[in-house]
Amino acid sequence: MLRVVLAAFAALAMSACSYGSAVDLAPFSARIDKPAAAAGDYCEVKGQAAPFTVVSHEDCVPVIWDQATRTYTMVDPDDKEDSIQSAVVSLGSGVYAAQIDVKDDEHETPDRYQLHILLSKGNAFTMLSALEDEPLKKLAKRHKQLTFKEDSTGRLYIVKGSPDRIKAFLRDAAKESLRAMKKEDEEFSIGILDKSGAPDHEASKAQTQDIEAILKLAKSMTPR
């Protein structure tokens, strides 16, 4: 299941999986200069309250941190050519935006940057679903300091705006995403640092603390 959640990273051609932007939110100087979570294998957590189970026997995702470029790479164990590199910026208090540059020799689009929102505490993280088109349009109307346009599919992307304004927009998007999850009673898919191929096991005390910190952060951001 964790791979299913992270598949949004690979589905970059589908802009609804993320937030498109023509503005580079993560030039080198703006990227986090040390890893928010340690590099290693991230495995899915089962359960929304302790005791949690770490599903480590399959479908874990290797994550690599490169200090020289200040980027993370999520490795596809089945096809390393499909691995995805992202630059991460902090939105404050454990909320992050992972930016992927989708420009290549065959594709040139105005929204060349795709942004995903993550919550991270300790060595645990969860990726939040991007808002669907209509909620995104409603949110965009509240952020009048940003300029939006529609792409070829009719989905909005950011054309112009300061990095601080874009970060404020993404934090609001995170809250709206959490609100939608709460309304639909969706469970979080959390990845925790572990060892790929190990037997499934109960989360350790340290792992439990990190998992609970993610859930606490999400709860604190969820509008009533």
Dist. CA 87–CA 220, nearest whole Å: 26
Question: 41-44: long-range contacts (C-beta < 8 A, 24 or more apart)?
Answer: 41/193, 41/194, 41/195, 41/196, 42/2, 42/125, 42/191, 42/192, 42/193, 42/194, 43/2, 43/191, 43/192, 43/194, 43/196, 44/1, 44/2, 44/189, 44/190, 44/191
Summarize pLDDT for 150-180 with one digit per residue, the tens: 998 899 999 999 999 999 999 999 999 999 9
> Domain map of the chain by residue range?
2-217
**Segment 87-144, tens digit of pLDDT:** 999 999 999 999 999 876 555 678 889 999 999 999 999 999 999 999 999 999 999 9
**Cα distances (angstroms) measured from residue 194 to each of 55, 57, 128, 172:** 9, 10, 21, 31
pTM above 0.85, yes or no: yes
How many helices (H) does the chain have, and how many strands (E)?
4, 13
